[in-house]
Structure 1
Protein backbone atom coordinates (compact mmCIF):
# COMPACT_ATOMS: atom_id res chain seq x y z
CA UNK A 1 0.00 0.00 0.00
CA UNK A 2 1.46 3.32 -1.10
CA UNK A 3 1.93 6.15 1.35
CA UNK A 4 0.02 9.44 0.83
CA UNK A 5 3.31 11.31 0.28
CA UNK A 6 4.41 8.94 -2.49
CA UNK A 7 0.98 9.17 -4.14
CA UNK A 8 1.17 12.98 -4.10
CA UNK A 9 4.66 12.93 -5.64
CA UNK A 10 3.53 10.64 -8.44
CA UNK A 11 0.49 12.86 -9.11
CA UNK A 12 2.71 15.95 -9.32
CA UNK A 13 5.08 14.05 -11.61
CA UNK A 14 2.21 13.09 -13.90
CA UNK A 15 1.02 16.72 -14.00
CA UNK A 16 4.53 17.90 -14.91
CA UNK A 17 4.75 15.29 -17.65
CA UNK A 18 1.39 16.28 -19.12
CA UNK A 19 2.37 19.95 -18.96
CA UNK A 20 5.65 19.22 -20.70
CA UNK A 21 3.94 17.25 -23.46
CA UNK A 22 1.46 20.08 -24.05
CA UNK A 23 4.29 22.61 -24.21
CA UNK A 24 6.20 20.40 -26.63
CA UNK A 25 3.31 20.22 -29.09
CA UNK A 26 2.53 23.91 -28.73
CA UNK A 27 6.15 24.78 -29.44
CA UNK A 28 6.31 22.32 -32.35
CA UNK A 29 3.21 23.90 -33.91
CA UNK A 30 4.69 27.34 -33.39
CA UNK A 31 7.98 26.30 -35.00
CA UNK A 32 6.23 24.92 -38.07
CA UNK A 33 4.27 28.15 -38.53
CA UNK A 34 7.40 30.12 -37.72
CA UNK A 35 9.31 28.23 -40.44
CA UNK A 36 6.61 29.12 -42.98
CA UNK A 37 6.72 32.74 -41.82
CA UNK A 38 10.50 32.75 -42.35
CA UNK A 39 9.98 31.72 -45.96
CA UNK A 40 7.44 34.52 -46.38
CA UNK A 41 9.81 37.09 -44.85
CA UNK A 42 12.65 36.00 -47.11
CA UNK A 43 10.34 36.10 -50.14
CA UNK A 44 9.33 39.70 -49.39
CA UNK A 45 12.98 40.74 -49.12
CA UNK A 46 14.03 38.95 -52.32
CA UNK A 47 11.00 40.28 -54.22
CA UNK A 48 11.86 43.83 -53.15
CA UNK A 49 15.45 43.53 -54.37
CA UNK A 50 14.91 41.48 -57.54
CA UNK A 51 11.67 42.86 -58.95
CA UNK A 52 12.17 46.47 -57.94
CA UNK A 53 15.96 46.76 -57.80
CA UNK A 54 16.04 49.21 -60.73
CA UNK A 55 14.42 51.92 -58.64
CA UNK A 56 16.98 51.50 -55.85
CA UNK A 57 19.59 53.11 -58.13
CA UNK A 58 17.48 56.29 -58.18
CA UNK A 59 17.67 56.66 -54.40
CA UNK A 60 20.60 58.34 -52.68
CA UNK A 61 19.95 56.56 -49.37
CA UNK A 62 20.59 52.83 -48.97
CA UNK A 63 18.07 52.36 -46.15
CA UNK A 64 15.43 50.92 -48.50
CA UNK A 65 17.84 48.26 -49.80
CA UNK A 66 19.29 47.58 -46.32
CA UNK A 67 15.79 46.94 -44.94
CA UNK A 68 15.20 44.37 -47.66
CA UNK A 69 18.57 42.67 -47.02
CA UNK A 70 17.78 42.49 -43.30
CA UNK A 71 14.51 40.73 -44.11
CA UNK A 72 16.33 38.19 -46.29
CA UNK A 73 18.91 37.44 -43.58
CA UNK A 74 16.24 37.31 -40.88
CA UNK A 75 14.05 35.04 -43.01
CA UNK A 76 16.94 32.61 -43.53
CA UNK A 77 17.73 32.54 -39.83
CA UNK A 78 14.05 32.04 -39.03
CA UNK A 79 13.86 28.95 -41.26
CA UNK A 80 17.00 27.46 -39.69
CA UNK A 81 15.71 28.37 -36.23
CA UNK A 82 12.38 26.67 -36.91
CA UNK A 83 14.14 23.38 -37.71
CA UNK A 84 16.41 23.73 -34.68
CA UNK A 85 13.38 24.46 -32.50
CA UNK A 86 11.66 21.25 -33.59
CA UNK A 87 14.78 19.21 -32.80
CA UNK A 88 15.25 20.90 -29.43
CA UNK A 89 11.59 20.38 -28.55
CA UNK A 90 11.40 16.65 -29.26
CA UNK A 91 14.86 15.77 -28.00
CA UNK A 92 14.11 17.73 -24.81
CA UNK A 93 17.66 19.03 -24.63
CA UNK A 94 17.96 22.18 -22.57
CA UNK A 95 21.22 23.17 -24.31
CA UNK A 96 19.48 23.18 -27.70
CA UNK A 97 16.61 25.13 -26.20
CA UNK A 98 19.07 27.78 -25.00
CA UNK A 99 20.58 28.07 -28.50
CA UNK A 100 17.10 28.20 -29.95
CA UNK A 101 16.08 30.99 -27.58
CA UNK A 102 19.19 33.04 -28.43
CA UNK A 103 18.47 32.67 -32.17
CA UNK A 104 14.87 33.72 -31.61
CA UNK A 105 16.10 36.79 -29.77
CA UNK A 106 18.56 37.65 -32.58
CA UNK A 107 15.86 37.34 -35.23
CA UNK A 108 13.52 39.38 -33.05
CA UNK A 109 16.07 42.21 -32.92
CA UNK A 110 16.68 41.99 -36.70
CA UNK A 111 12.97 42.18 -37.46
CA UNK A 112 12.54 45.16 -35.14
CA UNK A 113 15.55 46.83 -36.82
CA UNK A 114 14.04 46.32 -40.28
CA UNK A 115 10.75 47.78 -39.09
CA UNK A 116 12.44 50.79 -37.48
CA UNK A 117 14.57 51.48 -40.58
CA UNK A 118 11.49 51.27 -42.77
CA UNK A 119 9.68 53.73 -40.50
CA UNK A 120 12.63 56.16 -40.45
CA UNK A 121 12.97 56.08 -44.23
CA UNK A 122 9.21 56.46 -44.55
CA UNK A 123 9.53 59.82 -42.79
CA UNK A 124 12.40 61.16 -44.91
CA UNK A 125 11.53 59.73 -48.33
CA UNK A 126 9.68 62.78 -49.68
CA UNK A 127 12.55 65.10 -48.79
CA UNK A 128 15.13 62.78 -50.36
CA UNK A 129 13.22 62.42 -53.63
CA UNK A 130 12.69 66.17 -53.95
CA UNK A 131 16.38 66.82 -53.37
CA UNK A 132 17.91 64.07 -55.48
CA UNK A 133 15.59 62.53 -58.08
CA UNK A 134 15.65 65.45 -60.51
CA UNK A 135 19.43 65.79 -60.29
CA UNK A 136 19.89 62.04 -60.84
CA UNK A 137 17.63 62.05 -63.90
CA UNK A 138 19.03 65.15 -65.64
CA UNK A 139 22.69 64.54 -64.76
CA UNK A 140 23.06 60.77 -65.21
CA UNK A 141 20.53 59.74 -67.88
CA UNK A 142 22.29 58.30 -70.94
CA UNK A 143 25.71 59.14 -69.51
CA UNK A 144 28.78 56.85 -69.62
CA UNK A 145 28.76 54.09 -66.98
CA UNK A 146 25.25 55.06 -65.89
CA UNK A 147 23.33 52.38 -67.77
CA UNK A 148 21.60 51.23 -64.56
CA UNK A 149 20.22 54.76 -64.03
CA UNK A 150 19.11 55.03 -67.67
CA UNK A 151 17.33 51.68 -67.44
CA UNK A 152 15.68 52.67 -64.13
CA UNK A 153 14.48 56.04 -65.48
CA UNK A 154 13.03 54.50 -68.65
CA UNK A 155 11.28 51.79 -66.64
CA UNK A 156 9.99 54.36 -64.12
CA UNK A 157 8.49 56.61 -66.81
CA UNK A 158 6.88 53.76 -68.73
CA UNK A 159 5.61 51.78 -65.75
CA UNK A 160 4.14 54.78 -63.94
CA UNK A 161 3.14 56.72 -67.07
CA UNK A 162 4.99 59.87 -66.06
CA UNK A 163 7.68 62.13 -67.51
CA UNK A 164 10.42 63.96 -65.66
CA UNK A 165 10.94 64.38 -61.95
CA UNK A 166 8.35 67.10 -61.40
CA UNK A 167 7.17 67.52 -65.00
CA UNK A 168 8.30 66.89 -68.58
CA UNK A 169 9.91 70.37 -68.64
CA UNK A 170 12.63 69.03 -66.29
CA UNK A 171 14.23 67.34 -69.28
CA UNK A 172 15.15 70.74 -70.75
CA UNK A 173 18.00 70.78 -68.21
CA UNK A 174 19.19 67.26 -69.06
CA UNK A 175 22.87 66.84 -69.90
CA UNK A 176 21.87 64.28 -72.54
CA UNK A 177 19.20 66.44 -74.20
CA UNK A 178 21.70 69.29 -74.50
CA UNK A 179 24.49 67.08 -75.78
CA UNK A 180 25.32 66.22 -79.37
CA UNK A 181 24.28 62.63 -78.68
CA UNK A 182 20.61 63.61 -78.45
CA UNK A 183 18.92 62.36 -81.59
CA UNK A 184 17.56 65.35 -83.49
CA UNK A 185 17.51 67.29 -80.22
CA UNK A 186 14.74 65.30 -78.55
CA UNK A 187 12.56 67.25 -76.13
CA UNK A 188 12.20 64.26 -73.81
CA UNK A 189 13.34 60.61 -73.76
CA UNK A 190 11.31 58.17 -75.84
CA UNK A 191 10.21 56.47 -72.60
CA UNK A 192 8.02 59.53 -71.93
CA UNK A 193 5.87 58.68 -74.94
CA UNK A 194 2.43 57.12 -74.53
CA UNK A 195 3.28 54.84 -77.45
CA UNK A 196 7.08 54.52 -77.35
CA UNK A 197 8.91 54.43 -80.67
CA UNK A 198 12.22 55.70 -81.97
CA UNK A 199 12.43 59.53 -81.88
CA UNK A 200 8.88 59.84 -80.51
CA UNK A 201 10.26 62.10 -77.77
CA UNK A 202 10.92 64.78 -80.37
CA UNK A 203 7.24 65.78 -80.33
CA UNK A 204 6.54 67.21 -76.89
CA UNK A 205 2.75 67.41 -76.94
CA UNK A 206 0.16 66.21 -74.35
CA UNK A 207 -1.32 63.83 -76.93
CA UNK A 208 2.06 62.16 -77.26
CA UNK A 209 3.86 62.73 -73.94
CA UNK A 210 2.73 61.86 -70.40
CA UNK A 211 1.83 65.10 -68.62
CA UNK A 212 1.25 63.94 -65.04
CA UNK A 213 0.76 66.41 -62.23
CA UNK A 214 3.58 65.96 -59.74
CA UNK A 215 5.70 64.08 -62.28
CA UNK A 216 7.47 60.85 -61.40
CA UNK A 217 8.32 61.95 -57.86
CA UNK A 218 4.77 61.44 -56.64
CA UNK A 219 4.45 58.09 -58.43
CA UNK A 220 7.77 56.73 -57.13
CA UNK A 221 7.14 58.04 -53.62
CA UNK A 222 3.76 56.31 -53.38
CA UNK A 223 5.26 53.08 -54.74
CA UNK A 224 8.14 53.03 -52.24
CA UNK A 225 5.92 54.08 -49.33
CA UNK A 226 3.65 51.10 -50.02
CA UNK A 227 6.65 48.77 -50.01
CA UNK A 228 8.04 50.30 -46.85
CA UNK A 229 4.70 49.67 -45.17
CA UNK A 230 4.93 46.01 -46.22
CA UNK A 231 8.53 45.70 -45.00
CA UNK A 232 7.71 47.41 -41.70
CA UNK A 233 4.52 45.41 -41.12
CA UNK A 234 6.23 42.09 -41.90
CA UNK A 235 9.20 42.89 -39.68
CA UNK A 236 7.24 44.08 -36.66
CA UNK A 237 4.49 41.46 -37.13
CA UNK A 238 6.88 38.49 -37.13
CA UNK A 239 8.79 40.02 -34.21
CA UNK A 240 5.62 40.13 -32.13
CA UNK A 241 4.86 36.50 -32.97
CA UNK A 242 8.35 35.55 -31.79
CA UNK A 243 7.54 36.81 -28.30
CA UNK A 244 5.04 33.95 -28.06
CA UNK A 245 7.73 31.49 -29.16
CA UNK A 246 10.22 32.78 -26.60
CA UNK A 247 7.56 32.47 -23.89
CA UNK A 248 6.82 28.84 -24.83
CA UNK A 249 10.56 28.11 -24.94
CA UNK A 250 11.11 29.50 -21.44
CA UNK A 251 8.17 27.48 -20.10
CA UNK A 252 9.44 24.25 -21.64
CA UNK A 253 12.99 24.94 -20.45
CA UNK A 254 11.80 25.42 -16.87
CA UNK A 255 9.63 22.31 -17.11
CA UNK A 256 12.54 20.19 -18.28
CA UNK A 257 14.84 21.68 -15.68
CA UNK A 258 12.50 20.58 -12.92
CA UNK A 259 12.58 16.98 -14.08
CA UNK A 260 15.29 14.56 -12.94
CA UNK A 261 17.83 13.31 -15.44
Structure 2
Protein backbone atom coordinates (compact mmCIF):
# COMPACT_ATOMS: atom_id res chain seq x y z
CA UNK A 1 0.00 0.00 0.00
CA UNK A 2 1.56 3.33 -1.05
CA UNK A 3 1.69 6.42 1.16
CA UNK A 4 -1.16 8.21 -0.64
CA UNK A 5 -3.45 5.17 -0.46
CA UNK A 6 -2.75 4.77 3.26
CA UNK A 7 -3.57 8.41 3.95
CA UNK A 8 -6.77 8.19 1.91
CA UNK A 9 -7.76 5.17 3.99
CA UNK A 10 -6.91 7.11 7.15
CA UNK A 11 -9.10 10.01 6.04
CA UNK A 12 -12.11 7.81 5.21
CA UNK A 13 -11.94 5.74 8.40
CA UNK A 14 -11.45 8.88 10.50
CA UNK A 15 -14.65 10.29 9.06
CA UNK A 16 -16.39 6.99 9.83
CA UNK A 17 -15.05 7.23 13.38
CA UNK A 18 -16.70 10.55 14.19
CA UNK A 19 -19.97 9.51 12.53
CA UNK A 20 -20.17 6.28 14.55
CA UNK A 21 -19.07 8.09 17.72
CA UNK A 22 -21.77 10.72 17.21
CA UNK A 23 -24.48 8.07 16.76
CA UNK A 24 -23.42 6.23 19.93
CA UNK A 25 -23.29 9.56 21.77
CA UNK A 26 -26.91 10.21 20.77
CA UNK A 27 -27.78 6.85 22.34
CA UNK A 28 -26.09 7.97 25.55
CA UNK A 29 -28.01 11.24 25.50
CA UNK A 30 -31.33 9.41 25.11
CA UNK A 31 -30.44 7.08 27.98
CA UNK A 32 -29.80 10.07 30.22
CA UNK A 33 -33.00 11.78 29.03
CA UNK A 34 -35.10 8.68 29.73
CA UNK A 35 -33.56 8.33 33.17
CA UNK A 36 -34.49 11.93 34.05
CA UNK A 37 -38.17 11.07 33.50
CA UNK A 38 -37.95 7.86 35.53
CA UNK A 39 -35.24 8.48 38.13
CA UNK A 40 -37.53 7.69 41.08
CA UNK A 41 -38.33 4.29 39.59
CA UNK A 42 -34.75 3.10 40.09
CA UNK A 43 -33.21 2.06 43.37
CA UNK A 44 -29.75 3.19 42.17
CA UNK A 45 -28.48 5.85 39.81
CA UNK A 46 -25.78 3.62 38.30
CA UNK A 47 -27.97 3.03 35.24
CA UNK A 48 -26.76 6.35 33.78
CA UNK A 49 -23.05 5.60 34.16
CA UNK A 50 -22.87 4.14 30.62
CA UNK A 51 -24.48 7.36 29.35
CA UNK A 52 -21.81 9.59 30.89
CA UNK A 53 -18.95 7.39 29.72
CA UNK A 54 -20.27 7.03 26.19
CA UNK A 55 -20.90 10.79 25.92
CA UNK A 56 -17.27 11.44 26.89
CA UNK A 57 -16.20 8.74 24.43
CA UNK A 58 -18.34 10.30 21.70
CA UNK A 59 -16.69 13.69 22.23
CA UNK A 60 -13.28 12.01 21.97
CA UNK A 61 -14.39 10.17 18.80
CA UNK A 62 -15.31 13.50 17.21
CA UNK A 63 -11.88 14.88 18.06
CA UNK A 64 -10.19 11.75 16.69
CA UNK A 65 -12.26 11.88 13.51
CA UNK A 66 -11.40 15.48 12.69
CA UNK A 67 -7.79 15.08 13.84
CA UNK A 68 -7.33 11.98 11.71
CA UNK A 69 -8.79 13.72 8.65
CA UNK A 70 -6.42 16.67 9.17
CA UNK A 71 -3.51 14.31 9.83
CA UNK A 72 -4.02 12.64 6.45
CA UNK A 73 -2.53 15.81 4.94
CA UNK A 74 0.42 15.95 7.37
CA UNK A 75 3.69 14.05 7.81
CA UNK A 76 4.46 14.92 11.43
CA UNK A 77 5.65 12.00 13.54
CA UNK A 78 4.78 13.90 16.73
CA UNK A 79 1.17 14.44 15.64
CA UNK A 80 0.92 10.83 14.54
CA UNK A 81 2.07 9.71 18.00
CA UNK A 82 -0.54 11.96 19.63
CA UNK A 83 -3.19 10.44 17.35
CA UNK A 84 -2.21 6.93 18.46
CA UNK A 85 -2.43 8.05 22.10
CA UNK A 86 -5.95 9.42 21.54
CA UNK A 87 -6.97 6.13 19.95
CA UNK A 88 -5.78 4.22 23.02
CA UNK A 89 -7.71 6.55 25.34
CA UNK A 90 -10.81 6.17 23.15
CA UNK A 91 -10.44 2.38 23.34
CA UNK A 92 -10.47 2.63 27.17
CA UNK A 93 -13.59 4.83 27.19
CA UNK A 94 -15.55 2.66 24.76
CA UNK A 95 -14.52 -0.59 26.46
CA UNK A 96 -15.69 0.84 29.78
CA UNK A 97 -19.01 1.95 28.28
CA UNK A 98 -19.46 -1.49 26.71
CA UNK A 99 -18.82 -3.29 30.01
CA UNK A 100 -21.09 -0.92 31.99
CA UNK A 101 -23.92 -1.24 29.47
CA UNK A 102 -23.72 -5.03 29.58
CA UNK A 103 -23.61 -5.18 33.38
CA UNK A 104 -26.45 -2.67 33.88
CA UNK A 105 -28.64 -4.52 31.38
CA UNK A 106 -28.29 -7.65 33.52
CA UNK A 107 -29.20 -5.70 36.66
CA UNK A 108 -32.07 -3.76 35.13
CA UNK A 109 -34.85 -5.95 36.54
CA UNK A 110 -33.48 -5.68 40.08
CA UNK A 111 -33.01 -1.91 39.76
CA UNK A 112 -36.74 -1.53 39.01
CA UNK A 113 -37.79 -3.54 42.08
CA UNK A 114 -39.44 -0.63 44.01
CA UNK A 115 -41.80 0.20 41.13
CA UNK A 116 -44.87 -1.14 42.95
CA UNK A 117 -44.08 0.85 46.11
CA UNK A 118 -43.84 4.11 44.19
CA UNK A 119 -47.22 3.55 42.54
CA UNK A 120 -48.75 2.69 45.91
CA UNK A 121 -47.43 5.96 47.40
CA UNK A 122 -48.83 8.09 44.58
CA UNK A 123 -50.86 11.04 45.89
CA UNK A 124 -51.43 13.06 42.71
CA UNK A 125 -49.62 16.16 44.00
CA UNK A 126 -47.38 17.99 41.56
CA UNK A 127 -45.18 18.87 44.54
CA UNK A 128 -44.47 15.24 45.35
CA UNK A 129 -41.35 13.98 43.47
CA UNK A 130 -42.59 10.37 43.37
CA UNK A 131 -46.00 11.37 41.99
CA UNK A 132 -44.38 13.61 39.39
CA UNK A 133 -42.14 10.73 38.35
CA UNK A 134 -45.09 8.34 38.01
CA UNK A 135 -47.01 10.78 35.80
CA UNK A 136 -43.92 11.59 33.74
CA UNK A 137 -43.06 7.89 33.33
CA UNK A 138 -46.59 6.94 32.22
CA UNK A 139 -46.55 9.68 29.61
CA UNK A 140 -42.97 9.13 28.49
CA UNK A 141 -43.18 5.33 28.22
CA UNK A 142 -46.87 5.24 27.20
CA UNK A 143 -47.88 2.89 29.99
CA UNK A 144 -50.37 2.63 32.83
CA UNK A 145 -49.82 1.00 36.22
CA UNK A 146 -47.12 -1.52 37.01
CA UNK A 147 -48.52 -4.32 34.83
CA UNK A 148 -51.72 -2.69 33.50
CA UNK A 149 -54.34 -0.12 34.51
CA UNK A 150 -55.98 -2.48 37.05
CA UNK A 151 -53.02 -1.96 39.38
CA UNK A 152 -54.44 1.48 40.13
CA UNK A 153 -57.64 -0.04 41.50
CA UNK A 154 -55.70 -1.33 44.50
CA UNK A 155 -54.03 1.96 45.43
CA UNK A 156 -55.01 4.27 48.28
CA UNK A 157 -55.13 7.23 45.89
CA UNK A 158 -57.81 5.51 43.76
CA UNK A 159 -60.06 4.90 46.77
CA UNK A 160 -59.59 8.41 48.11
CA UNK A 161 -60.37 9.99 44.75
CA UNK A 162 -63.79 8.34 44.57
CA UNK A 163 -62.89 5.06 42.88
CA UNK A 164 -64.03 6.16 39.42
CA UNK A 165 -60.89 7.31 37.67
CA UNK A 166 -57.15 6.81 37.55
CA UNK A 167 -54.40 9.40 36.83
CA UNK A 168 -54.86 11.31 33.59
CA UNK A 169 -51.29 10.38 32.63
CA UNK A 170 -52.67 6.89 31.88
CA UNK A 171 -54.71 8.29 29.00
CA UNK A 172 -53.60 7.30 25.53
CA UNK A 173 -52.44 10.53 23.87
CA UNK A 174 -54.39 9.77 20.68
CA UNK A 175 -57.69 10.07 22.57
CA UNK A 176 -58.32 13.70 23.52
CA UNK A 177 -61.61 12.82 25.22
CA UNK A 178 -59.98 10.51 27.79
CA UNK A 179 -60.52 11.57 31.42
CA UNK A 180 -58.96 8.55 33.13
CA UNK A 181 -62.32 6.90 33.81
CA UNK A 182 -62.08 3.18 34.58
CA UNK A 183 -65.35 2.73 32.66
CA UNK A 184 -63.46 3.43 29.42
CA UNK A 185 -60.33 1.25 29.62
CA UNK A 186 -59.92 1.28 25.83
CA UNK A 187 -58.88 4.95 26.09
CA UNK A 188 -55.99 4.07 28.42
CA UNK A 189 -52.53 2.73 27.69
CA UNK A 190 -52.82 -1.04 27.69
CA UNK A 191 -49.27 -1.95 28.73
CA UNK A 192 -47.77 -1.64 32.19
CA UNK A 193 -44.79 0.51 33.05
CA UNK A 194 -42.67 -2.39 34.32
CA UNK A 195 -42.53 -3.94 30.87
CA UNK A 196 -42.25 -0.71 28.88
CA UNK A 197 -39.54 0.83 31.05
CA UNK A 198 -37.49 -2.35 30.96
CA UNK A 199 -37.84 -2.67 27.19
CA UNK A 200 -36.90 0.96 26.62
CA UNK A 201 -33.80 0.86 28.80
CA UNK A 202 -32.76 -2.56 27.51
CA UNK A 203 -32.89 -1.22 23.97
CA UNK A 204 -30.78 1.84 24.83
CA UNK A 205 -28.23 -0.19 26.81
CA UNK A 206 -27.90 -2.72 23.99
CA UNK A 207 -27.58 0.14 21.50
CA UNK A 208 -24.71 1.58 23.54
CA UNK A 209 -23.15 -1.87 23.93
CA UNK A 210 -23.07 -2.70 20.22
CA UNK A 211 -22.33 0.89 19.23
CA UNK A 212 -19.32 1.00 21.56
CA UNK A 213 -18.11 -2.30 20.13
CA UNK A 214 -18.35 -0.83 16.62
CA UNK A 215 -16.37 2.25 17.70
CA UNK A 216 -13.70 -0.04 19.18
CA UNK A 217 -13.44 -1.97 15.89
CA UNK A 218 -13.17 1.23 13.85
CA UNK A 219 -10.53 2.46 16.29
CA UNK A 220 -8.50 -0.74 15.85
CA UNK A 221 -8.62 -0.31 12.07
CA UNK A 222 -7.50 3.31 12.48
CA UNK A 223 -4.66 2.21 14.74
CA UNK A 224 -3.47 -0.41 12.24
CA UNK A 225 -3.69 2.12 9.41
CA UNK A 226 -1.66 4.69 11.36
CA UNK A 227 0.96 2.08 12.27
CA UNK A 228 1.28 1.24 8.59
CA UNK A 229 1.71 4.92 7.70
CA UNK A 230 4.34 5.42 10.41
CA UNK A 231 6.31 2.42 9.12
CA UNK A 232 6.27 3.59 5.50
CA UNK A 233 9.27 5.67 4.36
CA UNK A 234 8.47 9.33 3.65
CA UNK A 235 7.90 10.20 -0.01
CA UNK A 236 10.90 11.46 -1.93
CA UNK A 237 10.66 14.80 -3.69
CA UNK A 238 13.03 16.35 -6.21
CA UNK A 239 16.26 14.91 -7.49
CA UNK A 240 18.61 12.63 -5.59
CA UNK A 241 22.42 12.59 -5.82
CA UNK A 242 23.57 9.26 -7.17
TM-score (norm 2): 0.79
Which residues of structure 2 form unaligned runs of 5+? 237-242
**Higher RCO, 1 or 2 (CA under 8 Å, sep at least 6)?**
2
Contact kept, 8 Å, 1:63 with 1:118, in 2: the verdict is no
Aligned mates of 1:245, 1:220 — CA distance in 2: 37
Aligned mates of 1:37, 1:141 — CA distance in 2: 44
Q: Does 1:103 align with 2:86?
A: yes
Question: Among residues 33, 38, 41, which one is paired with 1:55 in the alignment?
Answer: 38
**Hey, what does 1:226 align to over in structure 2?**
203
Q: Does 1:86 align with 2:69?
A: yes
Aligned mates of 1:249, 1:62 — CA distance in 2: 39
TM-score (norm 1): 0.74
3-state secondary structure, aligned to 1:90: coil
1:170 CA drift (Å): 4.0
Greater C-alpha Rg: 1
Contact kept, 8 Å, 1:41 with 1:75, in 2: the verdict is yes
Question: Among residues 71, 87, 105, which one is paired with 2:54 in the alignment?
Answer: 71
Question: Among residues 157, 169, 180, which one is paired with 2:138 in the alignment?
Answer: 157
Q: Give the 3 Å change call, closer, same or farther, for CA 209–197 of structure 1 in structure 2.
A: closer
Tell me which stretches of 4 or more aligned residues in structure 1 moved more than 6 Å: none
How many residues matched? 234
1:102 CA drift (Å): 1.2
Which residues of structure 1 form unaligned runs of 5+? 1-17
Alpha-carbon deviations, 1:145-198, whole Å to 9, x = none?
544x434422433455543223445446656557xxx54466632323455779
